[in-house]
Chain A
């Protein structure tokens, strides 16, 4: 019995060793976003709290926690409070299967990629429930938009994942990374890599696809009625999701913890640092896109998802599998 308690204790320690760095990097990502946006727009960005303003997001968190939490009088109270919690929980439980190096992972399951896909497709519930429970027009419109948007882009994400899986022959995330030891999938599957990054922008509701919280038309979209810490939870979940999806991109296309070339000065650096550097680059692309592109119109968004990405990814699945089959390069 003692060994069982010990294992549970180790498990909890492992979970904390993932969750705490994720939450700290969320705070730093918010700071990075404001700095990058500032640099693009020739401003300074936050520079008052702490050295170079690096403690700005921690100050914001303290401000959010100490504000009053308002509940709209005609809202569905339980779902109104539950929705932001669900969003944050879903963005954190997905980290259970993300391998940061070949040995460092909480749970190495056979169907890791399907688990991630399932958890990311549940993410829409938080948004829909928040919009419906607020009992107000703008949040409801935001919820409907996000439901349609996330389901549309999940289809193309699914096909991109299938293309990668055909090349790997396994649903295990560690196997996916290890099959990229010599050649990252971003090179032979470059169009799929681009489609995946754009779909991830839509899936995490980031600009230029942030129609569910479009402040130009919907005030703040699905979290219009939220205040204080319940707004903070949505905010935290959005950035945790960004980091999660960036690590998924790194695992699927950029070779996880492997260096770009297997030569001396590069392979002496530990894998975790390579992983972090790649995630940072993808996150920087997210912020760069936000600073550069104007927001899409909703019909343009739907057209891109269904009429361009869906046929393109479908054809690429067929091309990849035919190519691998013809040249006898199928795994197993």
Chain B
């Protein structure tokens, strides 16, 4: 009873914050509502006993992804009213994506029962260990493939941003460290009443 009550509390918070992400006018508020939505889904994961997945969700999405969203959104200077009137443009796209996700959920719940992993040795109630066991045995190839996809995405991002342009001034750390004071500063004895000529 207590568990069910907490579930409905967090689930209703989750839905409310997700709606606020879409309908709030200020994009910074949208990102903050997104953070609260992530936090609520973390609570839901912990509630069903999947504390490892929940905390990883919090670390990755709240600790890194949402911060980068906030970082980008804060630097934009958006006219708030102009955001609202072209929302109808995105309706077909939204229907397409939500339709795909709905079809996936129906496929998983109706046609496919979950795989049973007979090789798991349940030694403790620690689900970190269980996830590790499944991930590195049954899903080893999938795990490595997703790693390669992420590596490709990273290389792609670096190639796109790291363009060599001769006009850009770069700092050469080795050159800076190997500079001595006698290369840059010259001590000149100025004669009284004459001063020094800069062109010397």
Interface residues of A (CB under 8 A from B): 109-111, 114-115, 117-118, 121-122, 124-125, 128-129, 132, 140, 143-144, 147-148, 151, 154, 171, 299, 303
Contacts and interface: CB of A to CB of B under 8 A. Distances in A.
Contacts of A115: 55
B128 A125 contact: no
Contacts, number: 56
Interface string B166-177: 000001010000
A143 B75 CA distance: 11
Given A110-B126, A125-B35, A118 B71 contact: no
A140 B128 CA distance: 39
B43 to A, nearest CB: 13
Contact of B171 (A132, A147, A299): A299
A121 B63 contact: yes
10 contacts: A109-B51, A114-B59, A121-B62, A124-B63, A128-B67, A128-B70, A128-B71, A147-B67, A151-B67, A151-B68
Given A110-B51, A144-B71, A117 B35 contact: no
B13 interface: no
Given A118-B58, A128-B70, A144-B71, A111 B63 contact: no
Interface residues of B, number: 23
A128 B59 contact: no
Interface in B88-142: 125-126, 128
B173 A132 contact: no
A122 B62 contact: yes
Interface of chain B: mostly helix, strand, loop or mixed: helix
B69 to A, nearest CB: 11
Contact of A118 (B63, B68, B128, B173): B63
Interface in B26-77: 28, 32, 35, 51-52, 55-56, 58-59, 62-64, 67-68, 70-71, 74-75
Given A114-B56, A115-B55, A154-B64, 20 more contacts: A109-B51, A110-B51, A110-B125, A110-B126, A111-B52, A114-B59, A118-B55, A118-B58, A121-B64, A122-B58, A122-B62, A122-B63, A128-B71, A128-B74, A132-B74, A144-B71, A147-B70, A154-B63, A299-B171, A303-B173
B74 to A, nearest CB: 5
Contacts of B171: 299
